[in-house]
Amino acid sequence: MHKISLTLEAIRKIYEQPFIDLILQAQNTLRAHFTPNTIQLSTLLNIKMGGCAENCGYCSQSVHHSSNIEPYKLLTKAEILAAAQKAKQNGATRFCLGAAWRGPTHNQIDKLSEIIPEIKKLGLETCSTLGLLKPGQAEKLKEAGLDYYNHNLNSSENHYKSIVSTHSFNDRLDTINQVTEADIKLCCGGILGMGENEEDRLSMLLSLSKISPPPNSIPINMLIPIPGTPLEKQPKIEVLEFVKLIATTRILFPSAYVRLSAGRDTLTRTEEALCYLAGANSIHFGSEYLLTEYTPLPSAESDLAFLHTLGIQPESKQLSE
């Protein structure tokens, strides 16, 4: 698979078409590439909380902000595997390890490389989101069997510098390049509602389209304005703008999972259903919160009951045990 050849004008033309036409095109695109009425379930575990040296304006785990979370060190192998087992029992097919680091040390990569094969033995796909990678670390994770690496662009290149100053947009692209060159599948998306404008959102999609190969999973997050962070007073994005961006993402990346991630708990169930109609076919689910207490998730039982009401079945794909 090669990178998509697009222009900002072409993306805008898709995004600005009549709403019903946009939704219809997105749903037809979804059905051409995935089994209708199915959803992929991913569980994300925060394996190391807080103390991050980066100053990302949306994040409660930065040492630069005063969000009053309780930091903790890297969880033990037993704790991580217990959480993975619970995720599988809930119906998840992918288990993601998240850590609040600028980037992992080689020793930390070695520790995770011992845990990843054990998670895969449970029949789960594996993903990690560990920050900026150093040369050779992506290859080490690939050797351990890692299936996906998450590293979001978060916004447009132009808007990114107003969100964080301790690293650059190009730093993020460098880690993404290391991941794709190591032949690890890429999970890469963005956060809406950080003060960006419409052109920034469409430019982010353009940047995603230039990645080769394009992302296999695209999380679309809605900003949760967290007290003590620079973005704590940002107003909530309009839901229809959020839905239109999901639909446009689905059309541009027909083979990718488009995932509802942070902010899903702020949607009504009707609004969430509209996101599925627009082409979202994956959610983070099955844990008390996404990464911190500021980003809660509905319970697994509540989510499964709601999906059943919609007639949407969880994907049953699991790795051979």
> Does the residue 100 lie in any domain?
yes
Q: Say if CB 176 and CB 211 are below 8 A apart.
A: yes
pLDDT, position 70: 82
**pLDDT tens across 246-294, in order?**
999 999 999 999 999 999 999 999 999 999 999 999 999 988 878 778 8
How many Å apart are CA 164 and CA 57, to the nearest integer?
6
Joined tokens for residue 104: 């992992």
With H, G, I as helix, E, B as strand and everything else as coil, classify residue 285. coil
DSSP codes of every residue in 215-258: PSEEEEEE----TTSTTTTPPPPPHHHHHHHHHHHHHHSTTSEE
Q: For residue 320, is pLDDT > 80?
A: no
> Does the residue 319 lie in any domain?
no
**Degrees to nearest 5, angle at CA 177 with 175 and 213:** 135
How many Å apart are CA 215 and CA 80, to the nearest integer?
26
Q: For residue 321, is pLDDT > 50?
A: no
> Does the residue 316 lie in any domain?
no
> Does the residue 98 lie in any domain?
yes
**pLDDT tens across 31-49, in order?**
999 999 999 999 999 999 8
**pLDDT tens across 191-225, in order?**
999 999 999 999 999 999 999 999 999 999 999 99
Q: For residue 4, is pLDDT > 70?
A: no
Structurally, the chain folds into a number of domains equal to: 1
> Does the residue 235 lie in any domain?
yes
CATH number for 43: 3.20.20.70
DSSP codes of every residue in 15-82: HTS-HHHHHHHHHHHHHHHS-TTEEEEEEEEEEEBS-B----TT-TTBTTS------B-PPPHHHHHH
> Does the residue 321 lie in any domain?
no
pLDDT, position 62: 86
pLDDT, position 60: 86
Q: Say if CB 305 and CB 311 are below 8 A apart.
A: no
To 10 degrees, what angle do helices 239-252 and 8-15 make?
Answer: 120
Query: Domain span at residue 35?
Result: 19-307
Buried b (16+ CB within 10 A) or exposed e, 80-90: bbebbebbbeb
Which active-site residues does the annotation give?
Answer: 52, 56, 59, 96, 127, 187, 259
Q: For residue 30, is pLDDT > 50?
A: yes
- Mean pLDDT to the nearest integer, 86-93: 95
| C-alpha 151, offset from chain centre | 8
Average confidence score pLDDT of the chain: 94
Q: Are strands 148-150 and 257-260 parallel, antiparallel or unpaired?
A: unpaired
For CA atoms 126, 301, 38, 2, give the dihedral sign. Answer: negative
**pLDDT tens across 116-168, in order?**
999 999 999 999 999 999 999 999 999 999 999 999 999 999 999 999 999 99
For residue 213, say if its preceding peptide bond is cis, omega within 30 degrees of 0.
yes
How many Å apart are CA 118 and CA 145, to the nearest integer?
10
> Does the residue 7 lie in any domain?
no
pLDDT-based confidence at residue 3 (cuts at 50, 70, 90) = low
> Does the residue 320 lie in any domain?
no
